[in-house]
Structure 1
Amino acid sequence: MPNTTVLVVDDDPPVPSALLDALDQVASSVIRRTLGRLRNDPSAALPAADVLLAPAQCGPEAVRNVVRRLTGRGADPVVVVYTEHGFEALEPHVRAGHDYLVPPFLPALVGARLTSCSERAVLGRTVQETDARTELIRYERELEIGREIQAGFLPEDLPVPEGWEIDVRFRPARQVAGDFYDVFELVHRRRLAIVVADVCDKGVGSALFMALIRSLLRHTAENSGLQHLVAAGSSLAADRSGIRIVGATPLLTAVSATNGYLTRNHLSQGYFATLFFSVLDPATGSLVYINGGHNPPLLLDADGGAPIPLEVTGPAVGVLPDSSFSLGYAQLDPGDTLFAYTDGVPEARCPHGGFLGEERMLRLLSGPALRGKDLVERLDTAVRAHTGDGEQHDDVTMLALHRPRSSGRPTAAVAVA
């Protein structure tokens, strides 16, 4: 048994001298410890070993305790017990899967038995590794299926009104994401709903809730029982001046109903979402919105002034039952851009852990007016450069709604990487 380390633990009876002589000839290294010392000093260091040799009289549980202390120092050792008499002590070890040695302790016999044990252990580990690889491949395939299904919840084609441009960049940190965005028409195609949201946590759980929350918001907004009355001018929602806002009712209904459903049925699971849900009047550029605990989207004016944040108007969705959500209002004039994003942008980390940061993000957004496409590209380039070869820790989602100074054909760009 070349390059084989044997750890011998014994008490009473001591290891037979013939067995020790045989081990000295067939093993590359023999290390001895006593069970009494190991019991009295739980912190005593144990070397890594290929074979653990112990007296059968010590019992399987005592052997397992030694193996537990060796776990994490490489592959678990092959367990072999020995006895010169009292062969009935071997039975519980055999039932536990341990091998055994009995006299005569001749070097050739001891070497052959330990070699056989090692080969079986290697084969067992190979089978385990193969099973683990097979399970990993199956898991990755299931994640890929989940990614494909989740991609179906994101709009492939955005309904962009004439005279407007919408550009999106979406890069999940993993195969499935908790971020999502949505753009769809409301009120007989007279209004445009725009959503950017971030479900807490990452992985499969947040992806499932992303699909649920996105579906609840869109379905409720599109099928709000009052939106047909709203289209006829009977909305109960009004802005600060008292003017009724077409599209505010389905907005409020969708967010409130989604929050109610989540807190009634899924509060114990601990998932929630921050979201920015807005309704645009393409004809006038007026925007009514709810910001539920989300990073404030930024209104960038055509003259390059300081970005104006659209502040929070309510809590995250799915946290508090009977939450109250108020409306916010904004105006997009020709040349203006609304930039909405998730925290994966300012919290992008470099390989040493430093964040991109809000201040740098604002500097990148400031300056002369740019098209939304240019802004999204500028930010995404900065995020990728900052992350470098490091891990992408969070989903990155950016959406730019731009109103060009001169009317033209509507454009939309969606990038998923």
Structure 2
Amino acid sequence: MAAGMSLRFSSSESGGSGTRRVVASRFAGLDPSRFILPALVILLAAMGFGVFLVPEIVSIAFVFPLLVVAGLLLEPRRLYVALAACAVVVGVWAPNSGISVSRLLGALVSIAAVMWLSLLVARSRAQVGTRGLSGDRMFAELRDRIVTVGQVPDLPAGWAATSCILSAHGDRFSGDFVVAHLHPCGRRLEVALVDVSGKGTRAGTRSLLLSGALGALLGAVPAADFLRVANDYLLRQRWEEGFATAVHIDLDLGTGEYSVANAGHPAPARYTGGRARWTVLDGARGPLLGVVPGSTFPRQSGRLDRGDALLVYSDGVVEARDRDLTDGIDRMLGVATMSVLREGDVARDVCEAARSGEDDDRAALAVRRV
């Protein structure tokens, strides 16, 4: 009997949970946005009545937050309905507002401007495929992922590395980015600094896509083939502004031996601790990425001894309007020398000292054997 009671209780419990799952699945299929438009129309109608019945409490200005919410949450097709309802309310209110003609015209122009802006916002979010603030959060997350990929991992004792990326005009998206990979053995570091055509937000979307692709390639393909494979990838994208420059470093953290390949990028610099001077490594240079099919990228090799360093940077660090490029490089290397001597952050120091200021994206990465 006990067993039978237990069995019936278990069956009833499973049936209840099954009913709950069916109900939950039915509610899960509902689109919450379907209820936003009726709610906004009802609020607009209530506001319209309130303006007539209790104008000392309800103001026509309450239409502004409703229009902002409509622009953020409604797709354009449904937004037109909300805008029409708003126009009806305002059209009925205007002749009976009891305010001066100048104030009435000012209110009508303000309402029309906010209606137009809400429509622009809705169209923009419809292109992205998001509603509300989810699109902003999505782009913020992607931006943070770029920053995470560009962070140089902790290096073994005897090595130090810093990186810095500053975007044009303070934008949070940059056409310059860094990808780094420390091999599982902990003795080999690969780093690539890339400058996508354009700057700031305009180059941000291409930078997002390319950083993910090159971050996956780094360490997955032989170092000698990295730029060649990256070039093939950009050619397949067929972007109108599809080119990029890049420099790739393959560094053995055990011996200090390195090799550098350059794809149309400003030449890296090597610091020799014994002489306290920088040398520009302009011996190995290939074409821009995404321009010439089947390109090859020669590599230049060397060795870092204790106190030596490598510095890679984007053109925004050394280029400036009405300034000679050689002068910009000399100035950067002077800043880098002072930074090394005082044990500073070389990458950040050269980026912040760039003469281009906020007119261009700036990026730098420095690796030093200490």
Please say whether Structure 1 and Structure 2 have the same fold, judged by a TM-score greater than 0.5. yes
Question: Are 1:336 and 2:308 an aligned pair?
Answer: yes
Of 164, 167, 178, the residue aligned with 1:169 is 164
Q: 1:292·1:314 contact (CA, 8 Å) conserved in 2? A: yes
Name the % identity.
Answer: 26
Give me the CA root mean square deviation: 3.3
Using the TM superposition, give the Cα deviation of residue 338 of structure 1 relative to its aligned residue in structure 2, in angstroms. 0.9
Indicate the residue corresponding to 1:211 in structure 2.
208
CA distance in 1, matches of 2:145, 2:158: 27
Q: For residue 368 of structure 2, what is the aligned residue in structure 1?
A: 402
Distance 2:157 2:115 in 1: 56
Contact 1:206/1:271 (8 A) holds in 2: no
Q: Which has the higher helix share?
A: 2
- TM value normalised by structure 1: 0.54
1:301 partnered with 2:272: yes
Counterpart for residue 202 of structure 1 = 199
| Shift, 1:148, TM fit | 3.5
**Which of residues 139, 155, 161 in structure 2 aligns to 1:146?**
139
Deviation, 1:180, is 0.4
Moved over 6 A (4+): 136-141, 353-356
Choose 144-153 or 278-287, whichever is displaced more.
Answer: 144-153
Where do residues 64-213 of structure 1 align in structure 2 (5 Å cutoff)? 122-131=106-115, 142=135, 145-155=138-148, 156=151, 158-173=153-168, 174-186=171-183, 188-213=185-210
Q: TM-score, normalized by length of structure 2? A: 0.60
Are 2:354 and 1:370 equivalent residues in the alignment? no
Distance 2:338 2:141 in 1: 38
Partner Cα distance (1:161, 1:348) in 2: 37
Residue identity matched to 1:298? A
Whether contact under 8 Å (2:179, 2:214) holds in the other structure is no
Alpha carbons of structure 1 residues 153 and 365: separation in structure 2 relative to 1, 3 Å = closer
Residues 398 and 371 of structure 1: is their aligned pair in 2 closer, same or farther, counting only changes over 3 Å? farther
SS in 2 for 1:210: helix
Q: Give the whole-Å Cα distance in 2 for the aligned partners of 1:381 and 1:315.
A: 28
Structure 2 gap ranges (5+): 1-99, 126-131
Which AA in structure 2 matches 1:168?
Answer: S
**Helix, strand or coil at the partner of 2:173:** coil
Distance (whole Å) between structure 1 residues aligned to residue 297 and residue 353 of structure 2: 34
Shift of 1:359: 2.8
The alignment covers a number of residue pairs equal to 255
- 8 Å contact 2:167–2:200 — kept in the other structure? no
Matches for 1:34-53 after TM superposition, within 5 Å: none
The residue aligned with 2:61 is none
Pair 163,402 (structure 1): closer, same or farther in 2 beyond 3 Å: same
Which of 290, 310, 319 is matched with 2:291 structurally?
Answer: 319
Q: Which structure 1 segments of 5+ residues have no match?
A: 1-114, 225-249, 405-417
Q: State the alpha-carbon separation in 1 of the partners of residues 137 and 145 from structure 2.
A: 13
Query: Any conservation in 2 of the 1:184–1:193 contact (CA below 8 Å)?
Result: yes
String of CA shifts for 1:284-331, please: whole Å, max 9, x gaps. 111112111111111011034542112242112111111111111121
- Higher-Rg structure is 1
How far is 1:379 from its partner?
A: 2.6
1:345 aligns with 2:317: yes
Q: How big is each residue's C-alpha offset from its partner over 1:40-71, in whole Å with a ceiling of 9 and x where there is no partner?
A: xxxxxxxxxxxxxxxxxxxxxxxxxxxxxxxx
- Whichever residue aligns with residue 192 of structure 2, its letter is V
1:124–1:252 CA distance, 2 compared to 1 (3 A): farther
Alpha-carbon shift at residue 121 of structure 1 (Å): 5.3
Partner-residue secondary structure (3-state), 2:305:
coil
Cα contact 1:348–1:392 (8 A) shared by 2: no
Tell whether the 8 Å contact from 1:305 to 1:367 is kept in structure 2 after alignment: no
Provide the rounded CA distance (Å) in 2 between the counterparts of 1:369 and 1:205: 34
Cα separation, 1, equivalents of 2:141 and 2:199: 17
Q: Which residue of 2 aligns with 1:42?
A: none
1:367–1:392 Cα change, 3 Å: closer
> Deviation string for 1:97-127 (max 9, x for gaps)?
xxxxxxxxxxxxxxxxxx86x7675444313
Deviation readout 1:74-94 (Å, 9 max, x if unpaired): xxxxxxxxxxxxxxxxxxxxx
Q: Distance in 1 between matches of 2:152 and 2:112?
A: 46
Query: 2:16: which partner in 1?
Result: none
Shift of 1:377: 4.7
SS of the residue corresponding to residue 183 of structure 1 reads: strand
